[in-house]
Amino acid sequence: AQQFGIAEALKQLGVKDINPGSSTGSNWFANGEIIESYSPVDGQLIGKVQATTAADYEKVMAAATEAFKEFRTMPAPKRGEIVRQFGNKLRELKEPLGKLVSYEMGKSLQEGYGEVQEMIDICDFAVGLSRQLNGQVIPSERPGHVMREQWHPIGVVGIISAFNFPVAVWSWNTALAWICGDVCVWKASEKAPLCSIACQNIIADILKENGLPEGISCIVNGDYKVGEMITTDTRIPLVSATGSTRMGRIVGAKVAERFGKSLLELGGNNAIIITPTADLKVVVPGAVFGAVGTCGQRCTSTRRLIIHESVYDTVRDAIVGAYGQIKIGNPLDEKNHVGPLIDTDAVNTYLAAIEKAKAEGGNVLVEGGVLTGEGFESGCYVKPAIIEAENHFEIVQHETFAPILYLMKYSGEVENAIELQNGVAQGLSSSIMTNSMKEAEKFLSYAGSDCGIANVNIGTSGAEIGGAFGGEKETGGGRESGSDAWKVYMRRQTNTVNYSDQLPLAQGIKFDL
Ligand code: UN1
């Protein structure tokens, strides 16, 4: 890895061999067990982080709640200025941060840079938004009265994020939360803890330069036990959790039990429908990048292709042919398309899924398997697989976070394909490849895709930050990132003001004294 400048990147990001994993900015403290971060790229130890204990957590929360009292009084456009500086710092550090993402998580360097670009984009979006946290004026039924709706900061926002987007997901939440006047406590994945240290270092410097309290951005590190401190804490009115449906089910229930709000962005089981008029030039890169990009570890990764029987053989052969061109190897080497899975547990899950698909009657078109030998010492490199399967197979109904693509046929009208596409428990992303206006509009209509994201003639992954990001059903229902997703980070208040000399009651009620 050193030939790719990892040591230099770590230095520029202030990531040390041992990093205290609880922090309120520069005031580091952590007394828990040591979490070691190994790279799936070459199996090397990158660094260590100390986990957050219950006592550390209390210090973090004290700093965060104190910081909120100050931050909420700062005008929103001034908070936007802080986020602008943060975005600029990310521009400067795009190369080292992108490299660390690639090395610690295993995604290709291009995708590591792309992830940092998403952070920069959401900062720009949030800066503009900091002057547009608009409420509204509502006509009152009473004379001399006015009704208003306004948005206030909600408080301390808990952020729980996954290993696969170890920096961008945090920024989607923080950039919006900060302009809204909230402060954040982030529990990053214990599989990519150094990325969280790097991010924290960047924002801590900016807060310091601006004379702002460190508690505006806090991190806590550790496993689910640290997550539980957040989900059960009544001082945290909003918990935003991105990750598996299994995790979201627990987090959602815990937060609901105390009437907190949660924003859940969970698993997907994303399909592309390929119709008779689809353009192969668009289908092949869209489907292949969707299925093998990030080694199939995006929540938006393409898991299923639902292909019309009349074009099935042509599409199948083109996709199988393209798989023959895929280069698997060190993701820091830009000639490779696909890097490793996150760890050997993920490799075992991938292998078990292939076996399960075969046992259920799946027909393997492109064999999977683990790569061995020089360059593959970490044991995390696998071959993207293609399996002909049926939608009702149990394994097809589940999200396997790995590059396994299931192919299935549909016949007749597009409605049949939509039924298959919707026939899973998850509802994140979906797309249709068609040149028929009627098919496209049916797919986007109320009777069409039931997903939070529905695309035409592009794949399922790679959403831009400007749109609301998230999905329905077991995907959790939350929306992060663009559009009006900011509203969840604020509390809504309805005001009625009487500027008359009378006190008329609503609904015409008379109450004469
Ligand atoms: C995720 O996998 O959790 O749409 C996020 C995409 C990216 C974000 C994925 N912009 O693929």
Residues 51-104 pLDDT 10s: 999 999 999 999 999 999 999 999 999 999 999 999 999 999 999 999 999 999
Element holding 121 (H helix, E strand): helix 109-129
For residue range 461-503, what is the model confidence (pLDDT) as tens digits? 999 999 999 999 999 999 999 999 999 999 999 999 999 999 9
Tell me what percent of the residues of the chain surpass a pLDDT of 90: 96
The residues near 257 (Cβ < 8 Å, ≥ 6 apart) are none
- Compute how many other C-beta atoms are within 10 angstroms of the C-beta atom of residue 189: 22
* 374 counts as catalytic: no
3 state SS of 494: strand
Give the number of the atom of ligand 1 that is nearest the alpha carbon of residue 297.
2
- For residue 294, the CA-to-ligand 1 centroid distance in Å is 10
- For residue 255, the CA-to-ligand 1 centroid distance in Å is 24
Closest Cα to atom 6, ligand 1: which residue? 462
Q: Is the CB of residue 332 less than 8 Å from the CB of residue 109? A: yes
Q: Kindly state the average pLDDT of the residues 267-290.
A: 98
Site to substitute for ligand 1 among 117, 299, 464, most atoms within 8 A of C-beta:
299
Residue 29: the pLDDT is 76
Residue 360 CA, chain-centre distance (Å), reads: 31
- Among 434, 412, 419, 481, CA closest to 453: 481
Residue 1 has pLDDT above 80, yes or no: no
Q: Which ipTM value was assigned to this complex?
A: 0.98
Pairing verdict, β 270-274 and 302-308: parallel
Site to substitute for ligand 1 among 300, 399, 451, 479, most atoms within 8 A of C-beta:
300
- Among 189, 188, 193, 219, CA closest to 204: 219
Q: Is 164 in the pocket of ligand 1 (CB under 6 A)?
A: yes
Q: Is 461 in the pocket of ligand 1 (CB under 6 A)?
A: yes
- For residue 231, the CA-to-ligand 1 centroid distance in Å is 24
Closest Cα to atom 7, ligand 1: which residue? 462
Take residue 248 and report the two structure tokens written for it.
Answer: 């979201």
Q: Is 462 in the pocket of ligand 1 (CB under 6 A)?
A: yes
Give the number of the atom of ligand 1 that is nearest the alpha carbon of residue 162.
3
pTM above 0.80, yes or no: yes
pLDDT band at 26 (very low <50, low <70, confident <90, very high): low
Torsions phi, psi of 167, nearest 5? -125, -40
Which entry of 115, 190, 214, 265 is annotated as an active-site residue?
A: 265
The residues near 466 (Cβ < 8 Å, ≥ 6 apart) are 121, 125, 481, 482, 483
- For residue 269, the CA-to-ligand 1 centroid distance in Å is 13
Q: Is 165 in the pocket of ligand 1 (CB under 6 A)?
A: yes
Residue 19 has pLDDT above 90, yes or no: no
